[in-house]
């Protein structure tokens, strides 16, 4: 609890902090959220919550909330009425559209916002503006998951369910640290271990679960494909592969097998640094189990080979028949609370809701008929394209909802320059962000506690977000703002409740056709849910029936990171999350949580620290080819010699000013997990 007194009411809702999607009760007194208590009817978490969910919602009443629209005049923000602000935005968007065409505008939607708002943002950009230039932060995290699992399994989402974890018998965790980033999943993995599950962990850092693991493979960053190919070669040589599953349910096995042939244990040890005996033991545990589940997060996706990494994991699961059944599968733990949903809703430049392609004439015709407009047939810009186009002058205006790319995207100097180059920038958020400071107009949004809607968690469960209090100040739910702006621009939207938006989305999206607020009220529903009687889908690809027919093996070679250490920048930097923080800590974010870890710390191996004359807690400067930031040294053998690790949570130490601007060749997801850097003790 972060307030005092007995609540007047408790409102069950979905946590806004991570993709696990815990439900709990917001305790409300005198129109204010005073705390959070467990709700035992919660489908995903029951009684469990983590420190973020339990104590982090104090941000709702932060004095730093935006409470009125702001218009920049002579370089200063001036308070404005909603009519003034929306009239200005509508006029400028129309003017730019007339002068430069629809593709001169772009929008960034938000994985923090509810599904209905993401659906409406992509509809606004497509139907009202006339462009497919809409994207969101999945681009900088799990876009490779969507692309990689769609290419191999036909469906770009987690195959299995969170409640299976505590009964899993073998868990292979790679490139993820759920204890801190997805704490309730971390707790369920520990439960499984207590019940006798075997745990294999592969990570460049000794994360907490490494200590619980039967096998810990501390691989060099960016060597996942070599590791997975090595495991597959061992499995094939030992005859532990599932020949029936491969024959009946998959294609292109031979191409994959030919490529992995050269990944001998010795060769793989040379690339990854993982001793051969650990490879052999890990392969045996995973492949000889009756069922084995893979879990991963951004350590897999945020590489120049992120999509290939994901497809490699899909290869491993198909090779051993570990798909299409309980306690198995390939399970990406999505980062933000609604990053699954914002992809599902079509806040992407290539698809409408339900992953219906904008290039598919039939899909386009359906949406044209429903929305009463002619729609663009060309795939829109991805996030990095938007910043390039802004810098070059091709993109003139952007509408940014609920994100702060100036701090979150890779090589943020370039992102900053992109925003500065625009003719007109609109930022819609609950706080003033670094991106917001560059805006021409600020539109104050309501937080999750102040609106109705739904979030979709990382196991595809669509769950209710319920309004507990009135919007703070003059803020409004994002969907209302988009609706009102659309009306000002001459395209009529008449929604009076978020449920009407879900109904429209469901009527146009076959995989979500069975969704409605009524049906998701109690426990939510896991998609696909193709009709109003369908009970939802606990696990995908049952009995090896993949979404697009047969599972497709991909032949994938190891690819080194875009930037490797050299004489000038001799260390390899990787980044990630810590327990108390939630992505970028904007001003106004939970004081309860930030008090626990108020500043950035850079992990450095004791051997490297000694040779650089650095002691624990020294202030150091971490530099790459793109810039420098300061942080406190954390001397620890949790990282490998030659490796350093930082989080990305602190505006005062903006790690992404030094991370790489290189990105995955398929999805343009930045390579946050590997860049060359150096560390120097800061002179005092
Ligand atoms: Fe919220 Fe994630 Fe913590 Fe659950 S695990 S309470 S969803 S932050």
The residues, ordered by sequence, that sit 6+ positions from 551 with a Cβ below 8 Å of its Cβ are: 152, 153, 154, 249, 250, 251, 314, 318, 323, 541, 544
User: Could you tell me if 285 and 296 are in contact, meaning their C-beta atoms sit under 8 angstroms apart?
Assistant: no
Q: What is the pLDDT of residues 1-57, one digit of tens each?
A: 455 679 999 999 999 999 999 999 999 999 999 999 999 999 999 999 998 899 889
Nearest Cα residue to 484 out of 94, 123, 83, 132: 83
Which residue do the tokens 């960016």 mark?
Answer: 222
Which helix or strand (DSSP H or E) is residue 647 part of?
Answer: strand 643-647
- Indicate whether residue 53 lines ligand 1 (CB < 6 A): yes
Looking at the fold, whether 351 and 436 belong to one and the same domain comes out as: yes
Token pair in block for residue 249: 């349910």
- The answer to whether residue 538 is domain-embedded is no
Distance CA(373)–CA(498), nearest Å, equals 22
Predicted confidence at residue 616, as pLDDT, reads 96
- Indicate whether residue 179 lines ligand 1 (CB < 6 A): no
- The answer to whether residue 531 is domain-embedded is no
Q: What is the pLDDT of residues 525-548, one digit of tens each?
A: 999 999 999 999 999 999 999 988
Looking at the fold, whether 329 and 346 belong to one and the same domain comes out as: no
Distance CA(50)–CA(96), nearest Å, equals 46
Looking at the fold, whether 353 and 263 belong to one and the same domain comes out as: no
- Indicate whether residue 109 lines ligand 1 (CB < 6 A): no
Nearest Cα residue to 383 out of 415, 427, 336: 415
Residue where a domain stops, chosen among 294, 316, 333 = 333
- 346 SS3 class: coil
Predicted confidence at residue 656, as pLDDT, reads 79
Cα(675) to centroid(ligand 1), Å = 30
Distance CA(208)–CA(210), nearest Å, equals 5
Token pair in block for residue 519: 């049906």
Residue where a domain stops, chosen among 333, 360, 393 = 333
Distance CA(598)–CA(580), nearest Å, equals 10
Cα(484) to centroid(ligand 1), Å = 32
- Indicate whether residue 186 lines ligand 1 (CB < 6 A): no
Predicted confidence at residue 517, as pLDDT, reads 98
Distance CA(229)–CA(556), nearest Å, equals 8
- Can you give the CATH number for the domain in which 660 is found? 2.40.40.20
Looking at the fold, whether 319 and 347 belong to one and the same domain comes out as: no
- The answer to whether residue 595 is domain-embedded is yes
Predicted confidence at residue 671, as pLDDT, reads 84
- Indicate whether residue 525 lines ligand 1 (CB < 6 A): no
120: left (phi over 0), alpha (psi -120 to 50) or beta: alpha
- Can you give the CATH number for the domain in which 350 is found? 3.40.50.740
- Indicate whether residue 49 lines ligand 1 (CB < 6 A): yes
Predicted confidence at residue 583, as pLDDT, reads 61
Cite the beta strand spans of 334-431 per DSSP E. Answer: 351-352, 356-357, 397-401, 424-429
- The answer to whether residue 192 is domain-embedded is yes
Looking at the fold, whether 110 and 240 belong to one and the same domain comes out as: no
Structural domain boundaries enclosing 611:
571-681
Sites in the chain below the pLDDT cut of 50:
1
Mutate to test the pocket of ligand 1, among 16, 18, 112 (most ligand atoms within 8 A of CB): 18
- If one counts every other C-beta atom within 10 angstroms of the C-beta of residue 272, the result is 25
- The answer to whether residue 544 is domain-embedded is no
Looking at the fold, whether 581 and 654 belong to one and the same domain comes out as: yes
Looking at the fold, whether 258 and 394 belong to one and the same domain comes out as: no
- Can you give the CATH number for the domain in which 48 is found? 2.20.25.90
Looking at the fold, whether 328 and 223 belong to one and the same domain comes out as: yes
Question: Which atom number of ligand 1 is nearest to the Cα of residue 182?
Answer: 5
Q: What is the pLDDT of residues 255-312, one digit of tens each?
A: 999 999 999 999 999 999 999 999 999 999 999 999 999 999 988 998 899 999 999 9
- Can you give the CATH number for the domain in which 312 is found? 3.40.228.10
What is the percent of the chain with per-residue pLDDT over 70, rounded to a whole number? 98
Predicted confidence at residue 272, as pLDDT, reads 98
Looking at the fold, whether 47 and 170 belong to one and the same domain comes out as: no
Distance CA(629)–CA(622), nearest Å, equals 5
- The answer to whether residue 552 is domain-embedded is no
- The answer to whether residue 195 is domain-embedded is yes
Instruction: Name the DSSP letter for residue 113.
Output: S
Nearest CA to ligand 1 atom 4: 22
Which residue do the tokens 């995908």 mark?
Answer: 540
- The answer to whether residue 556 is domain-embedded is no
Cα(403) to centroid(ligand 1), Å = 19
Distance CA(146)–CA(547), nearest Å, equals 13
The DSSP code sequence of 218-274 is: -PPTT-HHHHHHHHHHHHHHHT-S-HHHHHHHEE-HHHHHHHHTT--HHHHHHHH--
Looking at the fold, whether 390 and 320 belong to one and the same domain comes out as: no
Looking at the fold, whether 492 and 634 belong to one and the same domain comes out as: no
- Indicate whether residue 137 lines ligand 1 (CB < 6 A): no
Nearest Cα residue to 89 out of 116, 101, 74, 107: 107
Output b/e per residue, 625-660; b: 16+ Cβ within 10 A: ebeebebebbbbebbbebbbbbbbbbbebbbbbbbb
Cα(364) to centroid(ligand 1), Å = 37
Predicted confidence at residue 175, as pLDDT, reads 94
Quote the number of domains for the chain: 4
Positive or negative, the CA dihedral 349, 118, 305, 310 is: negative
Residue where a domain stops, chosen among 300, 333, 366 = 333
Whether the bond between 329 and the residue before it is cis, its omega within 30 degrees of 0, is no
User: Could you tell me if 171 and 189 are in contact, meaning their C-beta atoms sit under 8 angstroms apart?
Assistant: yes
Looking at the fold, whether 417 and 319 belong to one and the same domain comes out as: no
């Amino acid at each position: 609890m972060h307030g005092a007194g007995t609540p007047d009411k408790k409102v069950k809702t979905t946590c806004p902090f991570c993709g696990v999607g815990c439900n709990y009760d917001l305790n409300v007194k005198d129109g204010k959220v005073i705390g959070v208590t467990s709700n035992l009817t919660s489908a995903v978490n029951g009684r469990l919550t983590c420190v973020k969910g339990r104590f982090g919602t104090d941000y709702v009443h932060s004095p730093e909330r935006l409470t009125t629209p702001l218009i920049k005049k002579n370089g200063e923000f001036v308070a404005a009425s909603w009519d003034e602000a929306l009239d200005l935005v509508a006029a400028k968007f129309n003017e730019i559209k007339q002068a430069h065409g629809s593709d001169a505008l772009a929008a960034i939607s938000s994985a923090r916002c509810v599904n209905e708002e993401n659906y409406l943002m992509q509809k606004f950009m497509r139907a009202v503006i006339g462009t497919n230039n809409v994207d969101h932060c999945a681009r900088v995290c799990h876009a490779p998951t969507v692309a990689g699992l769609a290419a191999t399994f036909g469906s770009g989402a987690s195959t299995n369910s969170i409640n299976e974890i505590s009964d899993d018998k073998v868990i292979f965790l790679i490139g993820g640290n759920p204890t801190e980033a997805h704490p309730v999943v971390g707790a369920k993995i520990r439960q499984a271990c207590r019940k006798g599950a075997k745990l294999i962990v592969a990570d460049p850092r000794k994360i907490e679960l490494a200590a619980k693991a039967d096998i810990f493979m501390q691989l060099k960053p960016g060597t996942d494909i070599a590791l997975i190919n090595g495991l597959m070669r061992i499995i094939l040589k030992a005859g532990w592969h599932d020949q029936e599953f491969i024959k009946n349910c998959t294609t292109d096995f031979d191409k994959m097998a030919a490529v992995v042939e050269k990944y001998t244990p010795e060769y793989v040890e040379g690339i990854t640094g993982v001793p051969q005996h650990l490879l052999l033991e890990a392969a045996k545990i995973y492949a000889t189990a009756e069922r084995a589940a893979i879990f991963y997060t951004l350590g897999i996706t945020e590489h120049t080979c992120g999509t290939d990494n994901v497809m490699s994991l899909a290869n491993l699961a198909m090779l051993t028949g570990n798909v299409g059944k309980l306690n198995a599968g390939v399970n990406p733990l999505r980062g933000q609370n609604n990053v699954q949903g914002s992809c599902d809703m079509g806040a992407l430049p290539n698809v409408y809701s339900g992953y219906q392609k904008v290039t598919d004439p039939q899909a386009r015709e359906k949406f044209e008929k429903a929305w009463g407009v002619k729609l663009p047939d060309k795939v829109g810009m991805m996030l990095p394209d938007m910043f390039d186009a802004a810098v070059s002058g091709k993109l003139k205006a952007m509408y940014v909802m609920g994100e702060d790319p100036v701090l979150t995207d890779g090589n943020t100097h370039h992102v900053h320059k992109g925003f500065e180059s625009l003719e007109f920038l609109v930022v819609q958020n609950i706080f003033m962000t670094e991106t917001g400071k560059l805006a021409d107009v600020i539109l104050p949004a309501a937080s999750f506690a102040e609106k109705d809607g739904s979030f979709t968690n990382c196991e595809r469960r669509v769950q209710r977000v319920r309004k507990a209090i009135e919007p703070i100040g003059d803020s409004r739910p994002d969907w209302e703002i988009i609706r009102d702006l659309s009306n000002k621009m001459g395209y009529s939207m008449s929604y009076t409740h978020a449920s009407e938006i879900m109904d429209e989305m469901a009527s146009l999206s076959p995989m979500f056709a069975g969704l409605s607020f009524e049906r998701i009220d109690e426990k939510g529903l896991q998609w696909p849910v193709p009709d109003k009687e369908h009970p939802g889908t606990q696990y995908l690809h049952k009995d090896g029936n993949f979404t697009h027919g047969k599972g497709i093996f991909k032949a994938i070679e190891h690819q080194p990171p875009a930037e490797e250490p050299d004489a000038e920048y001799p260390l390899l930097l990787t980044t990630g999350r810590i327990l108390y923080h939630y992505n970028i800590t904007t001003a106004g974010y939970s004081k309860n949580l930030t008090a626990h870890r108020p500043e950035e710390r850079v992990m450095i191996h004791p051997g490297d620290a000694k040779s650089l004359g650095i002691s624990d807690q020294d202030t150091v400067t971490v530099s790459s080819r793109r810039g420098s930031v300061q942080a406190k040294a954390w001397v620890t053998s949790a990282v490998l010699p030659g490796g350093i690790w930082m989080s990305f949570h602190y505006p005062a130490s903006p790690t992404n000013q030094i991370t790489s601007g290189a990105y995955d060749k398929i999805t343009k997801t930045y390579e946050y997990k590997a860049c060359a850097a150096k560390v120097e003790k800061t002179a005092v």
